[in-house]
Amino acid sequence: MDIALDTVSIVKAGQFLGAGISMGFGAIGAAVGEGFVGGYANCSIGRRVGMASPYTRTMLIGQAVAETSGIFALMVSVLLVFGDFSANGICAWTATMSAGICMGLGALGSGIGAGYPAQEALWGSARQPALGGQMTTSMLIGQAVCQTPAIFALVIAFMLMFKNCSGLDVWPYGASLIGAGIAMGFGAIGSGWGGGMAGGKACEGMARQPRLRSPLTTLMLVGQAVAQTPAIFALLVAIMLISIGPQKGTLLTSAAMLGAGISIGFGAIGSGMGNGVTAQGACEAISKESSTTKEMLTFMLVGQAVGQTPVIFALVVSLMLMFIKFQIPATIVGFCALLAAGISMGLAAIGSGYGNGDTAESACKAVASNPEGKSGILPLMLVGQAVGQTPAIFGLLVAFILMFGSYSGPATLPAAMAVLAAGISMGFGGIGPGVGNGITAAAACEAAGYRPEERGLLMRTMLVAQAVAQSTAIYALVIAFVLIFVV
Amino acid sequence: MENIGYMPRWIFDIAGFHIVLNKETLIMTWIVMAFWILFSLLATKSTKMVPNPLQSTAEILIATWDDLVKDSLGLTDRRYFAFICTIFLLFWVSNLIGIIPFLSEPTKDINTTLSLGVVGFIVAHYSGIKFKGIKTYLKEYCEPIFFMMPLNVIGELSKVVSISFRLFGNIMGGSIIILVVSYLVYSLVLPPFLYGFFGLFVGTIQAFVFTMLSLVYISVQIR
Amino acid sequence: MDISGADLVRAAAFIGAGIAMGLGAIGPGVGEGFVGGKACEAIGRNPEEAGLLTRTMLVAQAVAESTGIYSLVVALLLIFVV
């Protein structure tokens, strides 16, 4: 089958693929968010029929804001369908396709997340009709911050689409551009969704305790801001890949750039959601026990900071892949090795990031149920989070081994696939145990809130449970080692 | 930027052994040790009932860790307390020292964290054997089913790997991030805040987590 | 690069092993974590029964591990036996 390829055709092919991906994924988030808003609007109207008209207005406003990320995705799609990017050189096919990936996935998290503040604002208005306009303001504030990742994704999509790369070879610069799109696209999911969850709980808290409006708004904004950090890391990596991506290099350089994008892109999902869940727990805690307002901020920040360790590991692997000249042979084995390093770290960080966030959420709520027991809950939370990060550490270990290993065997397809399979094994293998360990530690923190004197026993039980739950991560690590060293 | 991961070294060849020492790490560790020796000499020089600032800082540190150790281990003698408190002091200042210009954190080197992780592991398992007797200690690896033994052994080793790599990853990661961001923003505005977050905040927390985990691993072996 | 039939088979076997162990570790991890969580909660309510609760938890986790062990066996089969 002969396919005649000229620049214009190739670029158009990339454009149209990107347009489809952008609108396809971008439609998911906004629709889900708006659906939830509509559902809760009906609940509220059902509870207070007389207020149907203000509730409908609030619902439409909330849905309009949640629509924003969908509109961004539509805009990028239309530009990709009708624009002419062939003047940007043959690299433009990777750039336009990557722009589509970036905006499509980036709109996903923010769309879903923007639904939470609106739904809680409506349900809260039904509980406390006197609040009226205040709830709408809080809703808009909560929704605004969680749109930030979608805006980052839009910025990167525009940078990609209008990047003039004429005269450059497709590889490795094209790999940098695809990596940038993956990094920002996936990286925006967790922060958008998590930030939205935090905003939602804050609105619910304001409905329950209207006089706590000011501390809740502060806590929500700080919590959401910290939850945006993983998306900011992803933005950083994407900008670096676009502006200082290497223009000459071997097969290895392409793999390194793709791996860097995958590592931070996936790695940011877990921590973004985890930090958002922590902020959610902190908001719920203050609304139940308003005396803990001052210390809850510190507690939440500590929990979020430790919960960001997996995404920091992912960022480190990304930066190392981008800047270090590796001593591995530039064959298909080396290509798969660097790609596998990114996959291993990126995926393994998802579970631990979310699990740590779950633990910190539970710890915040435990402090609310027992404010004097704070000094006992903090070590339990930190140890639980630390042990729960072990799958991410295994991912980091495998990534290091893949990046700095010596590949002296012949460069055959089985050898390359073995290395890639090692990365897949450790990457996916880190997700489940990370989440499971987080659930265990969360329950331990909650129990420590009720029974602070049993702290030692709870710590030991939690550690035993976490150690057993990590067995499957250890199996995955062993399989990864077998695939790298024995085969 | 190109020298991320570059480590200045002393290389000797003695009696047929090729010895490689990381110069920067060793010197920084000596500086940290000198700091603590000086601090403790000054703080305990003339202990009064109304303490001076150095003495009260020392008292706060000692009291916090004494409580934590008593809580976890339930023993009243000071054997483990000295070890645990030393690990915390060493790692805390090691993580903070990067803020001072021209100095860098010795914990940026995997050798530092891994060696103290291994020491903690040895202390924990030696105490386990001493307190429980070697038969009970070995039988514990076969719980709950005999086939779990290799997995339990790997699990114990993975504990060492995880605590060492966690501290190393956090501190080295922080320094790489600060380096790259400073390069991108031409060292304006952002770097002090990053140093504050990664150096002070993350450094303190990770030192605490490492020490707490070592303590807990010892307590799991003893009980 | 000349790819022979035997090479392709081995390569596919390795990828299969990676997928088997990778995806296979997700479920047992979450499930055992849930068991541990409920055990901690129960010990919080009733600390005197800690021994019984811990033993039950370990048995439950071992059973939940089964599919993880199946994945491990399949992965090892694909790497070494095929």
- Bigger pLDDT: B118 vs A4: B118
Are A236 and B216 within 8 A, CB to CB? Answer: no
Query: Are the beta carbons of B216 and A390 separated by less than 8 Å?
Result: no
Task: Give per-residue pLDDT as tens, A429-441.
Answer: 999 999 999 999 9
In a domain, B2, yes or no: no
Residues spanned by the domain of B120: 9-222
% of chain A at pLDDT higher than 70: 99
- Give the angle subtended at the CA of A141 by the CAs of A137 and A144, to the nearest 5°: 135
Q: In this complex, which of B176, B212, B220 lies closest to A379 when CB atoms are compared?
A: B212
Residue B2 pLDDT exceeds 70: no
Give the mean pLDDT of C2-20: 87
Residue A21 tokens, joined: 């991906």
Identify which has the larger pLDDT, A341 or B75. Answer: A341
Q: For residues B223 and A13, which has the higher predicted lDDT (pLDDT)?
A: A13
- Chain B's closest residue to C60, CA to CA, is B144
Tell if the pTM clears 0.80, that is, is over it: yes
Q: Which backbone phi and psi does B14 adopt, to 5 degrees?
A: -115, 130
Q: Do residues A28 and A115 touch, judged by C-beta distance below 8 A?
A: no
What confidence tens digit (pLDDT) does each residue in A399-425 have?
998 998 888 778 788 889 999 999 999
Phi and psi of A451, rounded to 5°? Answer: -130, 75
In A, minimum Cα distance to C65 occurs at A472
The CATH code of the domain at A250-487 is 1.20.120.610
* Contact at CB, A457 and C47, closer than 8 angstroms: yes
CA distance B77 to chain C (A): 27
Dist. CA C40–CA A366, nearest whole Å: 14
Q: How many contacts (CB atoms, under 8 Å) link B and C?
A: 5
Q: Any idea how long chain C is?
A: 82
What's the Rg (C-alpha) of chain A?
A: 24
For A10-35, the pLDDT digits (tens) are: 888 889 999 999 999 999 999 999 99
Residues 6+ apart with CB under 8 A from A68: A30, A110, A114, A147, A150
- Only one residue has tokens 């307002």, namely A293
B210 domain residue, yes or no: yes
pLDDT average, residue stretch A28-55 = 88
Higher-scoring residue by pLDDT: A324, A195: A195
Report yes or no: A297 at the B interface, CB cutoff 8 Å. Answer: no
**Measuring CA to CA, how many Å separate B64 from each of A296, A377, A396, A426?**
21, 15, 33, 38
B/e letters for A471-485, b = 16+ CB within 10 Å, e = fewer, are: bbbbbbbbbbbbbbe
Give the closest of B4, B72, B163 to A456, CB-based: B72
Q: Is the pLDDT of residue B198 over 70?
A: yes
Q: What is the DSSP letter of B9?
A: E
Q: Does B145 touch chain C (CB under 8 A)?
A: yes
A57 to chain C, closest Cα gap in Å:
41
For the beta carbon of residue A487, count every other beta carbon within 10 angstroms.
19
The string of pLDDT tens digits covering residues C13-36 is: 999 999 999 999 999 999 999 999
**B216 to chain A: which residues are within 8 Å by CB?**
383, 459-460, 463
User: CB A387 to CB B162 under 8 A?
Assistant: yes
Which amino acid would we find at residue A476? A
User: pLDDT digit string (tens) for A279-310?
Assistant: 999 999 998 888 878 788 888 988 998 899 99
Query: What local confidence, expressed as pLDDT, does residue A1 receive?
Result: 66
Counting the structural domains of chain B, the total is 1
Q: Which of B70-79, B85-94, B123-132, C49-58 has the lowest mean pLDDT?
A: B70-79
Chain C CB contacts of A355 under 8 Å are 33
> Is the model's pLDDT at A358 over the cut of 90?
yes
Measuring CA to CA, how many Å separate A106 from each of A212, A222, A241? 33, 22, 17
Q: Do C19 and A421 touch (CB under 8 A)?
A: yes
For residue B74, the chain A residues in CB contact (below 8 A) are 456
Q: Which of A150, A315, A146 is nearest to A227 (CA)?
A: A146
pLDDT in tens, B199-218: 788 888 888 888 888 888 88
The alpha-carbon gap from B33 to the nearest alpha carbon of chain A, in Å, equals 27
Residue B4 lies in a domain: no
Asked if the Cβ–Cβ distance from C30 to A435 is below 8 Å, we say yes
Superfamily for C5-80?
A: F1F0 ATP synthase subunit C (1.20.20.10)
Of A309, A397, A460, which is closest to B161 when you measure between CB atoms?
A: A397
pLDDT, averaged across chain B: 82
| Residue A56 buriedness (CB in 10 A; 0-12 / 13-18 / 19+) | middle
**Three-class DSSP category at A184:** helix
- pLDDT value at position A183? 95
Each residue of A241-282: pLDDT tens digit?
998 888 888 888 899 999 999 999 999 999 999 999 999 999
Contact A212, A290 (CB under 8 A): yes
Chains that touch C (3 or more CB pairs under 8 A): A, B
Domain positions in chain A: 250-487
Residue C18 and residue A351: Cβ atoms within 8 Å? no
For every residue of B10-45, DSSP letters joined together read EEEEETTEEEEEEHHHHHHHHHHHHHHHHHHHHHTS
Task: Inform me whether the C-beta atom of residue B164 falls under 8 Å from chain A C-beta atoms.
Answer: no
Q: In terms of Cα–Cα distance, which of C18, B210, C7 is closest to A402?
A: C18
Residue B114: other Cβ atoms inside 10 A: 17
Q: In angstroms, what separates the C-alpha of C10 from chain B's closest C-alpha?
A: 27
Give the whole-angstrom CA distance, residue C40 versus residue A469: 14
* CB contact A305 to B (< 8 Å): yes
Q: Is A377's pLDDT higher than 70?
A: yes
Structure tokens at B221: 């072996």
What pLDDT digit, counting tens, does each position of A168-177 carry?
Answer: 777 888 899 9
Q: Tell me if A55 sits within 8 A of A125, measured CB to CB.
A: yes
